[in-house]
């Protein structure tokens, strides 16, 4: 790894971070080694100062691994990623995360280059002509932002519960679907009704299920703040009266975190695949007595860090969408696909995995569905600003055992007064979402039917 000296102000700041947080956050200073003709581009620049600048400006770094012709200098894209940076105000941690992804991308690029018959089959890339420059003011401003946030966070923690998720729903006469145009939900905020919740826990990841007799059931993650470990809860809903028939009841509780209770039916039985990332597994449960009694049916995968697993059956093939990490970073920014003849069978990895490497588009946000134009839509989280900031609806235009392609058809931002939106599910004329808000800690109960 080539060592590149930090500018003086950035050197000063890294020493402060080290003094505040210890050696564990220290990241390598130089670029990850890539052997010519493979090179690394950071936001289109060949020098690592561009990566430092992006991180100091709290932006998502765009990392590309390209093949560069020794003769003409022409560049062809081999691999790329928009990397999720969970803690944007920690420079060393962010740099460490980015460089780990660079190492993974270089490995992918080398494999792709070996499998490519001709580099001319690869997309062209144009690099920036001048090296990136890092202003000392950028480093200084970053340090001031970090210290200011550190000072303010202590009193705010006593007054406000940040990242508090609540559930909301709305009812329409026809099946709901995303708007085709991009935009916010702010003008429609009056249409969403929030469900009651307590300050002692948050509710997120809602999944609706409609029984054979037409009754609706809502399954979701409940996370008590005193345990910081999610469980799966259930509540029955009467769409005619728009009332909840009982208080939430925990239906699945393990010694590890549970969330995202994806549901599907197969051969007359109902199954659930909750997120079990904390156990390094993908687990499938069967309803022994729906909706309250669930038993482990199968461990689909072991020794994996996978989140928000979602199945889709196209009438012939079963597809499994899941967000995995292989570099120790977050699992917000990469999507992998597996396929099988049966949901209980062996799963084969898609050769293009990860099919998405972009924190704005990767992580699942609910069931795949067909919209009014018969397009297959994949709800995805936009985690660029922060985890679960907004939703992007992606039309899957190509899905085979060897190819995958998708495009954005709609974007949803949270209703006014909320900071996040990261799940969208609809059954019949009912749509459920979750919303991130800030909650005053001295207010023990939220209004039973307060409008979002």
Give the pLDDT score at 155: 78
- Is the Cβ–Cβ distance between 265 and 241 less than 8 Å? no
Q: What is the 3-state secondary structure (H, E, C) of the chain?
A: CECCCCCHHHHHHHHHHHHHHCHHHCCCCCECCCCCCEEEEECCECCCHHHHHHHHCCCCCEEEEEEECCCCCCEEEEEEEECCCCCCCCHHHHHHHHHHHHHHHHHHHHHHHHHCCCHHHCCEECCCCCCCCCCHHHHHHHHHHHHHHHHHHHHHHHHEEEEEEEEEEEECCCCCCCCCCCEECHHHHHHCEECCCECCEEEEEEEEEECCCCCEEEEEEEEECCCCCCEEEEEEEECCCCEECCCCEEEECCCCCCEEEEEEEECCEEEEEEEEHHHCEEEEEEEEECCCEEEEEEEEEECCCEEEEEEEECCCCEEEEEEECCCCCCCCCEEEEEEECCCCCCCEECCCCCCEEECCCCCECCCCEECCCCCEEEEEEECCCCCCCEEEEEEEEEECCCCEEEEEEEEEECCCCCCEEEEEEEECCEEEEEEEEEEECCCCECCCCCEC
Q: Does pLDDT of 377 surpass 60?
A: yes
Indicate the pTM of the whole model. Answer: 0.92
* Higher per-residue pLDDT: 348 or 31: 348
| pLDDT over threshold 60, residue 180 | no
Per-residue pLDDT band at 445 (split at 50, 70, 90): very low
Dump pLDDT digits (tens) for 62-101. Answer: 999 999 999 999 999 999 999 999 999 999 999 999 999 9
Q: What was the pLDDT predicted at 241?
A: 72
What mean pLDDT is reported for the chain? 90
pLDDT reported for residue 178 = 56
Residue-wise pLDDT tens digits, 257-282: 999 999 999 999 999 999 999 999 99
CA distance 306 to 83: 17
Share of residues in the chain with pLDDT > 70 (%)? 89
What the chain holds in terms of domains, given with CATH numbers, is: 8-134 (no CATH), 161-440 (2.115.10.20)
Mean pLDDT score, 24-28 = 62
Tokens of 203: 């509710």
Beta bridge partners of 263: 272
Tell me the C-alpha distance between 90 and 146, whole Å: 7
Tell me the per-residue pLDDT of 313-371, one tens digit each, with 9 for 90 and over.
Answer: 999 999 999 999 876 778 999 999 999 999 999 999 999 999 999 999 999 999 999 99
Of 79-93, 301-315, 425-439, the least confident: 425-439
């Amino acid at each position: 790894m080539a060592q590149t000296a930090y500018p003086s102000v950035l050197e000063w700041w890294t020493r402060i971070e080290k003094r505040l947080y210890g050696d564990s956050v220290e990241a390598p200073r130089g670029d990850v080694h890539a052997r010519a003709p493979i090179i690394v581009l950071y936001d289109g620049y060949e020098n690592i100062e561009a990566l430092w600048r992006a991180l100091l400006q709290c932006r998502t770094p765009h990392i590309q691994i390209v093949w560069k012709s020794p003769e003409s200098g022409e560049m062809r894209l081999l691999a790329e990623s928009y990397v999720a940076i969970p803690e944007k105000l920690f420079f060393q941690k962010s740099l460490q995360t980015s460089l780990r992804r660079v190492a993974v991308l270089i490995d992918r690029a080398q494999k792709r280059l070996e499998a490519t018959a001709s580099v001319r089959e690869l997309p062209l890339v144009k690099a920036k002509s001048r090296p990136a420059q890092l202003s000392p003011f950028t480093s200084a401003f970053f340090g001031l932002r970090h210290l200011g946030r550190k000072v303010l966070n202590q009193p705010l923690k006593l007054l406000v519960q940040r990242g508090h998720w609540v559930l909301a729903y709305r009812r329409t006469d026809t099946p709901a679907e995303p708007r085709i145009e991009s935009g916010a939900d702010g003008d429609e905020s009056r249409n969403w009704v929030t469900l009651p919740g307590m300050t002692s826990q948050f509710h997120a990841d809602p999944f609706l299920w409609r029984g054979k007799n037409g009754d609706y059931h809502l399954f979701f993650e409940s996370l008590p703040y005193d345990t910081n470990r999610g469980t799966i809860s259930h509540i029955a809903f009467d769409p005619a009266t728009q009332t909840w028939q009982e208080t939430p009841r925990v239906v699945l509780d393990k010694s590890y975190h549970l969330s995202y209770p994806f549901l599907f039916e197969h051969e007359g039985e109902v199954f659930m695949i909750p997120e079990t990332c904390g156990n390094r597994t993908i687990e499938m449960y069967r309803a022994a007595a729906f909706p309250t009694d669930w038993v482990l049916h199968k461990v689909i995968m072991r020794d994996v860090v996978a989140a928000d697993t979602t199945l889709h059956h196209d009438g012939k093939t079963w597809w499994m969408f899941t967000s995995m990490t292989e570099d120790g970073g977050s699992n917000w920014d990469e999507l992998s696909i597996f396929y099988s003849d049966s949901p209980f069978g062996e799963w084969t990895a898609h050769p293009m995995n990860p099919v998405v490497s972009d924190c704005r588009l990767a992580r699942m946000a609910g069931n795949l569905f067909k919209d009014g134009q018969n397009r297959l839509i994949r709800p995805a989280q936009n985690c660029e600003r922060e985890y679960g900031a907004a939703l992007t609806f992606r039309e899957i235009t190509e899905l085979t055992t060897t190819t995958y392609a998708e495009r954005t058809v709609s974007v949803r931002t949270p209703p006014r007064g909320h900071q996040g939106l990261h799940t969208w599910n609809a059954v019949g004329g009912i749509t459920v979402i979750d919303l991130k808000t800030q909650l005053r800690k001295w207010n023990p109960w939220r209004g039973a039917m307060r409008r979002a």
